[in-house]
Chain A
Amino acid sequence: MDTKSLPIREIGPHQKAYHDTPYIMRQVVIALIPALIASVIFFRQRAVIVILAALAGAFAGEIMAAKMRKRPVPLNDWSAAVTGILLALILPPATPFWAAFLGSFFGIVVAKHVFGGLGQNIFNPALAGRAFMMAAFPVMMTTWSQPFTLDAVTGATPLAAWKFGGELPSMYALFMGSIPGCLGETSALALILGGAYLFLKKVADWRAPAGMLIGTVILAGIFQIVDPANGSVMFHLLAGGFMLGMFFMVTDPVTTPMPKKGRFIFGLMVGILLMVIRKWAGLPEGVMYSILFMNAFVPIIDRLTRPKAFGRV
């Protein structure tokens, strides 16, 4: 046996867990498949165009950033695919190809690589891309389509209808997804299936989603008791980006706190903030901004919720 080739400097552990970063990202992509399928069912080729555009923009962004930083292109860690799909799912179906491409490109390059690349970004790249598009193309970002049609027959999202018109849709429609909205916001069923997959595979931690659920339920419950026209708790859980945010945004490891307590508090604050925005701010939807806002507080939450070391007072 040739002993010269044996390594002598490697330090243990010599066996490690099966999961690695690409595996975790791939599980997220798999969990998003039900939502992707639902978006294509409801919005046909518009969904396909937006999804492909967002993916293309994400990959283009990764390649350009890698070239500029003179590093190997990290497409095989699947994180660009996750960002692309998530951004597509929070865009209106009528978004043109070039706009989705641009938003995704911005998210990857500015919100991720400018900060240092994978693991270094403060803000969720998909949400940052959406926020950029909201600022650059406000009308495009608030033009919604009815599901199952190919024309741009516009219709208000349930949240907009509630906030500006006082109307509430049926809960069944909200749950199954036959309502206007972003590609991924519509079918709560598809998102719940995906979320369940993530928890079963132990890829996502339950604490941030639980915090977000509790925060929203408490505040929405208070609002509902004060005035039923504020919308029921169930309405607020099913409408808008809540489900997508709960399962796929507050579970993003990079932009959320690391200690267990911190994750819960983060989720709780997101849940509370999004109801505050929905009730009192100028926009009908609060998930995107509440998460981006709390992203900024992650370092301080990390510091304040660090575990107490064993054997130390």
Chain B
Amino acid sequence: MIHVREHKIHNEGFYETRYLPRRVVLPLGQHIGARPEPLVAKGDTVTIGQCIARSAAKVSAALHASVSGTVTDIKKYNHPTLGQDMSICIDSQGDEEFPRKERNVQAMTRDELLAAIRDAGIVGMGGAGFPTHVKLDSPKPIDTLIVNGCECEPYLSCDNRLMVEHTECILKGIEVTCRILDVERVIIAIEGNKPEAIKRFNSKLHTRSSSTCNISIQTMPSAYPQGAEKQLIFNTTGRVVPAGGLPLEVGCVVQNVATLFAICEAAYYGKPLIERMVTFAGSALAEPKNVTLRLGTLVSELFEKEVLKLKTDPRKIIFGGPMMGTLVSSFDYPILKGTSGVLFLTEQDCDLRSESNCIRCGRCIDVCPMRLMPQEFVRMFKKGRHEEMEAHYLMDCMECGACTFTCPAKIPIVSYVKTAKAAIRAKKK
């Protein structure tokens, strides 16, 4: 665990903006699992919330139109993590909101609730994008739900805004999840650098009757990667997820607050996953802000319409956080289900120092959350000993970057790990 410079927007009086786009580009690959097949074709008219892509596979998620309008094309478009991906492009016909229909959630059965989540196309919105209805349909009994309100990456504050402004809805999402999982307790884990969010949850929990589950709030030390699933489970419950295993093996499920918010919208109002809050930050921006956006909104359009303004030219544009985010080469990229932030970093923001000799200081080993020895990986990688890296649990590495952050020699450890992993996987095929 390391302490990073947070760069968070500390403005409890700052409220989010919304922007409704002229057009959206919706890639088919926004989640882990099978790619959905398009249900529409070029020229079709679609209404907001209409399902436009679906897969028959179990581990997959549906895709919905985030605006009403016409499908202009289905073609390969820029994708923040895949480079390029087949995407459904829709021109919006107007500023329409999704027509929410209130449902009697209390009368819905567990299976109906799961179906609502599935039909809404909800995936893990902390970035991983695992289909939520599959995660919640656990083959093993779950006794603890951990709500991930940590948001440990620097700059990102959209989860914080969600917790402050939509506390009630998140709690409703928690209750729906509790009913599906039949848990004994819920732990809401929030980092200590978000005092307003903690206060809101505390006051809401005091006023509501503790209905189905026993909910408690745990203030976590602000460190990176506090929000990483296995570390969070260990730091809240003391349970250790076995290597290569899943949280359900220790009876836990972790859900990001934005995912729970989406679950509330889907169960209570029938609203599919068509928008999310995104943090735009970085010194190159004139003003950092959180914006609620329809999925598929292009960052370029945000600049055209002056929702975002540049102060200087950015040296790096990153989708995600500065630790694990991916670099993109222009503004012409769409917001995805798992996009929590887009950063515009100047040269001063970035660390561009080049690699030098490892001095065996051991800092990488001290900070590794998976208790590996990154220095060894570097040493073995440079000698081409990939099998030996695997024997030393290379595949356990979650590529959080804590080691690379703290290395004084500026060795790009994560790069070497990723390359070695790819080589090992390729050899196994």
A interface with B by C-beta (< 8 Å): 1-3, 6-17, 19-21, 23-24, 77, 117-120, 205, 253-254, 256-260, 263, 306-312
Contacts and interface: CB of A to CB of B under 8 A. Distances in A.
Contacts of B67: none
B408 interface: yes
Contact of A259 (B323, B362, B407): B362
Contact of A258 (B326, B373, B405): B373
Contact of A14 (B230, B322, B361, B408): B322
A192 B2 CA distance: 28
A205 B362 CA distance: 10
B99 interface: no
- Size category of the B interface is 35 or more
Interface in B313-339: 313-318, 322-331
Given A11-B412, A15-B405, A21-B356, A3 B323 contact: no
Given A11-B414, A15-B351, A253-B359, A6 B405 contact: no
Interface in B176-235: 230, 234
A117 B359 CA distance: 10
Given A14-B351, A21-B356, A307 B365 contact: yes
B1 to A, nearest CB: 12
A298 B239 CA distance: 33
Nearest to A6: B329
Contacts, number: 158
Interface stretch (B240-248, B257-265, B272-280, B291-299): B240-248
A14 B325 contact: yes
Contacts of B324: 12-13
A251 to B, nearest CB: 10
Nearest to B241: A311
Given A7-B327, A117-B357, A16 B371 contact: no
Contacts of A257: 362
B372 interface: yes
A309 B394 CA distance: 10
A306 B407 CA distance: 18
A19 B408 contact: yes
A153 B284 CA distance: 67
10 contacts: A3-B331, A12-B401, A14-B316, A20-B353, A77-B356, A117-B357, A118-B356, A120-B357, A308-B371, A309-B396
Given A6-B329, A12-B318, A13-B322, 12 more contacts: A8-B327, A12-B324, A13-B351, A14-B316, A17-B406, A21-B359, A119-B360, A119-B409, A309-B370, A309-B396, A310-B230, A310-B371
Given A12-B324, A77-B356, A311-B242, A259 B408 contact: no
Contact of B328 (A8, A117, A120, A308): A8
Contacts of A205: 362
Contact of A20 (B368, B410, B418): B410
B353 A307 contact: no
B400 to A, nearest CB: 9
Contacts of A118: 356-357, 359
Given A8-B328, A10-B327, A259-B365, A309 B371 contact: yes
